[in-house]
Amino acid sequence: MKLLSRLVALALCLVTTLVEARTFEEIKKDGKIIVASEGGFPPFNFFRGPTLTGFEIELAEALAKKMGVQIEWRALAFDALLAGLRQDRWDMVIASFGVTPVRAKAVSFTNPHYCSGGVIVTKNPAIRKADDLADKVVAVQTGTTYLENVQKLAKVKDVKNFPKDTDARAALVSGRVDAWVTDKFVAKAALEAAPSAGLTIGDFVFIEHIAPAVKKGNTSLVEAINKALQEVMADGTYEAISKKYFNEDIRCR
């Protein structure tokens, strides 16, 4: 029985790796691209009522327009997004994924759609730099580069991780942790949304390039997305969407 279930698991594995990702030509013929995001990382991807919106959602819509396809959106937990590419459940992911060597082994990244990094957010203005996190309890979202980088800081007392970044923020606001490490622009938006929460933004812990991802090796789709990205960055579309959300152009320079 055990052997049988192992064989079944092995067969399933083989099937999922043998199924080919849809090429851009196939997506184009179909007329729609399936794009997955999270919906919990304002102002990049979030829900306004029932509607998925944000900088990345509007940017992806602009890219799809250039590519001549419609988007069919999926919203899922952050840690399910890259795995779904491998299983061909969607064609592309846009959810503020930083390009890391480990992720680049599992998926293919396009060119970055913005540059940012993880910053320290606290209620205590004395905590500003990575060194100030010594003996402190830090909240981060599970599966993120924030978790990875805070874990590298030797003297941190405890890293509490939350499936949702908004819950990591809530832990800081209610005083259950000393600091929250998140994206610089997410931190800025959180401060603006709740000026009375007493939050302050400290230094960068690290910086990163953020990019959309597709199934590992789906070169035709990477090329099509890169071309569209180049076009929206050249014709003012990118700048307009970026300024709408951040009052500045956040592309990598």
96 scored as a contact of ligand ARG (CB under 6 A): yes
Binding to ligand ARG (CB under 6 A) within 164-223 occurs at 165, 183, 210
Q: Which residue stretch of 5-13, 35-43, 47-55, 62-70 sits at the interface with ligand ARG (rule: CB under 6 A)?
A: 35-43
Q: Which of 36, 45, 149, 190 binds ligand ARG (CB under 6 A)?
A: 45
Q: Cα(184)–Cα(136) distance, rounded to whole angstroms?
A: 20
149 scored as a contact of ligand ARG (CB under 6 A): no
Nearest approach in angstroms of CB 1 to ligand ARG is 40
Q: Which residue stretch of 15-23, 91-99, 122-130, 233-241 sits at the interface with ligand ARG (rule: CB under 6 A)?
A: 91-99
110 scored as a contact of ligand ARG (CB under 6 A): no
- Tell me the sheet residues that pair with 239: none
97 scored as a contact of ligand ARG (CB under 6 A): yes
Spell 176-205 as b/e; 16+ CB within 10 A means b.
ebbbbbbbbbbbbbbeeeeeeeebebbebb
41 scored as a contact of ligand ARG (CB under 6 A): yes
145 scored as a contact of ligand ARG (CB under 6 A): yes
Q: Tell me the DSSP string of 105-127.
A: HHEEE-S-SEEEEEEEEES-TT-
144 scored as a contact of ligand ARG (CB under 6 A): yes
Q: Are 195 and 83 in contact (CB under 8 A)?
A: no
Angle, CA of 172, 43 and 60, to the nearest 5°:
145
- For 231, other C-beta atoms within 10 Å of its C-beta total 16
40 scored as a contact of ligand ARG (CB under 6 A): yes
* Cα dihedral sign, 60-85-81-96: negative
Contacts with ligand ARG by CB under 6 A lie at 38, 40-41, 45, 78, 95-98, 141, 144-145, 165, 183, 210
